[in-house]
Chains A and B, each alone.
Chain A
Amino acid sequence: MGEFRMPSLGDAVKRGDIVAIVGTDKADIEVEVYETGTVRTLIAQPGEKLPVGAPLALLEVPGEAAPSAGVPPPRPTPTPQPAGRIHASPLARKLADELGVDLANVQGTGPHGIIESHDVERAAAKPAARAAPAVQPAASAAAEPPSGMRRAIAAAMARSNREIPHYYLSTQIDMSTTIGWLEQTNRQRSIEKRLLPAALLLKGVARALVEVPELNGYWVEDQLKPSAEIHLGVAVSLRTGGLMVPTIHSANQRSLDELMTDLRDIITRTRAGRLRSSDITDSTITITNLGDLGVETVYGVIYPPQVALVGFGKIVERPWTAHGMLGVRPVLTATLAADHRATDGRRGAQFLDILSSALQKPQTL
């Protein structure tokens, strides 16, 4: 645990206050207080390594007799920042590949020590920074251990493929009505208030999950436990590689404007390394959108113990027939990866159908 921000004994804290930053396998996470009260005992110290679930402090909560452990650390295992983690821009990584420069030997001069393209160019001039020729591929491949984030993703995805019998369904959705509505709506708005298609997709998913709740929840103790709340985990790629999945809570109760604000907030904070513990817990389903990278169809891997993942690709123009007429329409491929222990293909198909129908009436989202 690093940078323990709780000032001292006797201080008042309120629910939501950030009191510590914990280094985990995936990222630094801000830890919030879950109770309002007064600090009576400090249990953890800055720099200390703690097991998952260990309390950081005891609070005296108004109306309670004994101090309560109101500051739990987040669920991911706290670990120091892995020594092998390299922060570099995409351009720098590309350049390093082209020039044969080992990023582990490059000193970054960008913000927070990030390696920029000119750092790579400078390092390329020094023979020592270049990666050794791949004379012995096996030894060379093992030279750089995976980062903590990569290991965490590997563990979760390996477990998913080992334990979850996935089935996949996909459907093509005519987005002309949705995009037309969006363009008309955005014309009347200042740039700060404009919506992106992603907000409508999230709302469509939340709407469909209300009708097909079996896809929203967890598979635990050999049974499906649907969640009463719809908390959407949104996969966000990081500029330094890897991804995080922050949560938009109660998405079905949020308006499109609120969802757009939520999205901008969590994406910005994810990429700035300012997520809070409550941002990365409790998601009941995961949404991933790879359309920005030109991908048309996404076949995702479910994040256990969740039971479904929804993937969206790029909106592309395609020939489309409607009412006997052939035309060109913007088309989106939506994919569902679902746990066959929890649902069958029929329910999955109904989910995609409801999602498609919801997107045809964007004004009602």
Chain B
Amino acid sequence: MTEPAIRQAIEHSLRGIAPEADLQHVPPDANLREALDIDSFDFLNFLIGLHTRLGVEIPESDYGKLSTLSELIRYLLPKSG
């Protein structure tokens, strides 16, 4: 899967949680939860959305590696086939 496709999956997964989220205005290294005001419930829903869209397994122990947009893309790109 390509980086634009991963980015699109991230945007779609965020849409139901933070409909106003505008990733173009979020710096790639900014903490997503802080920038978009996402709590632990919505973050879990966000990851479930990514899992459903990309078929990627995301163990709980990896949650800490998924704080920023660039970390998410780096993590998901090799796993999404």
Structural contact, B19 and A114, CB atoms closer than 8 A: yes
Interface residues of B in 7-38 (CB under 8 A from A): 18-22, 25, 35-37
Instruction: Take A88-B20, A114-B20, A194-B60 as given contacts and tell me if A292 and B40 are in contact as well, using a CB distance cutoff of 8 Å.
Output: yes
By a CB distance below 8 angstroms, the chain B residues around A105 are: none
B51 nearest in chain A by CB position: A191
Q: Which residues of A contact B1 (CB under 8 A)?
A: none
B69 within 8 A of A: no
Cα of A112 to Cα of B19 in the assembled complex, Å: 9
Partner of B20, one of A115, A183, A198, A263: A115
Contacting residues of chain A (99-119) with chain B, CB-CB under 8 angstroms: 110-112, 114-118
Report the bound CA distance from A110 to B21 in whole Å.
9
- Taking the complex as formed, is A151 at the interface, i.e. its CB lies under 8 A from any CB of chain B? no
Chain B: residues with Cβ within 8 Å of the partner, total of: 23
Stretch at the interface among A29-37, A89-97, A218-226: A89-97
Q: Are A110 and B60 in contact (CB under 8 A)?
A: no
Q: Is the CB of A239 within 8 A of B37?
A: yes
Determine the interface band of chain A, counting residues with CB < 8 A from chain B.
20 to 34
- Residues 110 to 132 of chain A near chain B (Cβ within 8 Å): 110-112, 114-118
- Mark out the residues of chain A between 327 and 350 whose CB falls within 8 Å of any chain B CB in the assembled complex: none
Q: Which of B19, B35, B57 has the most CB of A within 10 A?
A: B19
Give bound CA distance, A115 to B44, whole Å. 25
Contact of B41 with A267 in the complex, beta carbons under 8 Å: yes
Q: Is B20 in contact with A191, judged by CB distance below 8 angstroms?
A: no
Q: Does B72 contact A (CB under 8 A)?
A: no
Q: List 7 A-B contacts (CB under 8 A).
A: A89-B21, A91-B36, A92-B20, A111-B19, A115-B20, A116-B22, A192-B51
Having A187-B61, A191-B57, A194-B44, one finds 8 other A-B pairs with CB under 8 Å, namely A89-B18, A91-B21, A91-B35, A114-B19, A118-B25, A187-B59, A196-B40, A239-B18
